[in-house]
Structure 1
């Protein structure tokens, strides 16, 4: 089920890094590449550095917003060197991240998101993710280029996938037991924000409060059934709030 694991590159500046990423992905059996507003693509340099992975270059999708790249994914992990810049759950070890992605990918789409070469992902982009991960490199020189970072995390995923008890992982989950997609979670968060404002809990949009609640529900990892119950509760409360 490695085809359910997506690699997303945000605003890649050097097209060669797209090609090197495709090569890193293919060596680990990954094939779903999505590009968010790349500076130059298609590009001969990307094709050249892809070496034997030109099929991934040819099938890569280009979108204009990160939300469009991950809306159908149930777990979205942003790779960031800035630890805990937002209160999202953080994987302290990449193998923990890999275990979670592999478990989910037997049933649903998941994504690994990488930012720009110079400064990575913005806070707004990290907020589109459900989790964060960092590579525990040398603290005195923890500089990895984009394709190297993809290679390290993709290797962790493949290593976990090879060791995974695949028979146990393939136990069917009902639709209600599966994790909600990012699109479903975003609709819930927007609904919650609306109720908080209409009820007077907050008097204006409050980014910090909303980010903390996003982190709370990311840690809780509700199922689709549980999220539906929460949406029903919010709808009921909404009906008792004066217009």
Structure 2
């Protein structure tokens, strides 16, 4: 399961934070590091602060967008210090997040996403996530640096994994039914958008309807079978509308 858990760092400014995050990952058995548009990489400072986790830094993959970095993941959890306007399912307790992440990692890649040092993830990037998680901290000073946040959530994940050896672990019922990847969900939402616009259901270009529907499906966590069924329904509706045009 642990090789299926990916840490994604978005637009990291200080290369040393890449190395410190890699060190935090490796202490918890995580090795899959993805970097989205880092300011400096590769960089000697990243290797220096990795302090024994240089292999994680060296093997990191670089992507030009978060969408690309998590396209094959079935669950994508964005670490955020505060809730944004986009109503994603939110974990108040990292332990609950870790339990779901480990369970979903049994069937394919999952990701924990961390934003920029100064202001985290922007709303557009939150839309690439299926869930959010916050780290409980002192309300008067709840500031964690990037590698500290990685360490806390990596520790929670490792702790759940360590307490659930395969011999005793009872997989959730949905484990037998694969979840869709983020790419498959993007294709579904694009298809849904086309049908909604073609049918006249959406008439305002800036309406929040599509955003609310994305959030609804994220909360529902449909399986791949569900998405296939829904896309079949959309295709049937499209054919019906085309017939009406004739």
Is the pair's TM-score, using the shorter chain for normalization, greater than 0.5?
Answer: yes
C-alpha contact (below 8 Å) 1:106/1:170 kept by paired residues:
no
Supply the distance in 2 between the matched residues of 1:172 and 1:75 (Cα, whole angstroms).
13
Tell me the SS of whatever aligns to 1:241: helix
Supply the distance in 1 between the matched residues of 2:115 and 2:205 (Cα, whole angstroms).
27
Match of 1:87 in 2: 87
Instruction: State the 4+ residue runs in structure 1 displaced beyond 6 angstroms.
Output: none
Question: Residues 90-105 of structure 1 correspond to what in structure 2 (within 5 A)?
Answer: 90-105=90-105
C-alpha contact (below 8 Å) 2:5/2:109 kept by paired residues:
yes
Distance 1:72 1:234, change over 3 A: same
Match of 1:169 in 2: 171
Distance 1:171 1:86, change over 3 A: closer
C-alpha contact (below 8 Å) 2:104/2:175 kept by paired residues:
no
Structure 1 residue 208: deviation in Å?
2.0
RMSD over aligned Cα atoms: 1.6
Q: Comparing 203-212 with 87-96, which one deviates more in the overlay?
A: 203-212
Taking structure 2 as the reference length, the TM-score comes to 0.94
- Structure 2 unaligned runs (5+)? none
Question: How many pairs does the alignment contain?
Answer: 241
Match of 1:42 in 2: 42
1:156-175 superposed Cα distances (whole Å, 9 cap, x missing partner): 0001111125243399955x
1:102-135 superposed Cα distances (whole Å, 9 cap, x missing partner): 0010111000000000000000000011111111
Distance 1:26 1:207, change over 3 A: farther
1:188 aligns with 2:181: no
C-alpha contact (below 8 Å) 2:84/2:123 kept by paired residues:
no
Distance 1:37 1:205, change over 3 A: same
Match of 1:214 in 2: 214
C-alpha contact (below 8 Å) 1:197/1:204 kept by paired residues:
no
Structure 1 residue 206: deviation in Å?
3.8
Structure 1 residue 209: deviation in Å?
1.5
1:174-195 superposed Cα distances (whole Å, 9 cap, x missing partner): 5xx1100000000001111111
Structure 1 residue 82: deviation in Å?
1.8
Tell me the SS of whatever aligns to 1:185: helix
Supply the distance in 2 between the matched residues of 1:26 and 1:236 (Cα, whole angstroms).
49
Question: Residues 1-243 of structure 1 correspond to what in structure 2 (within 5 A)?
Answer: 1-164=1-164, 166-167=166-167, 168-169=170-171, 177-206=177-206, 208-242=208-242
Structure 1 residue 32: deviation in Å?
0.2
C-alpha contact (below 8 Å) 1:84/1:90 kept by paired residues:
no
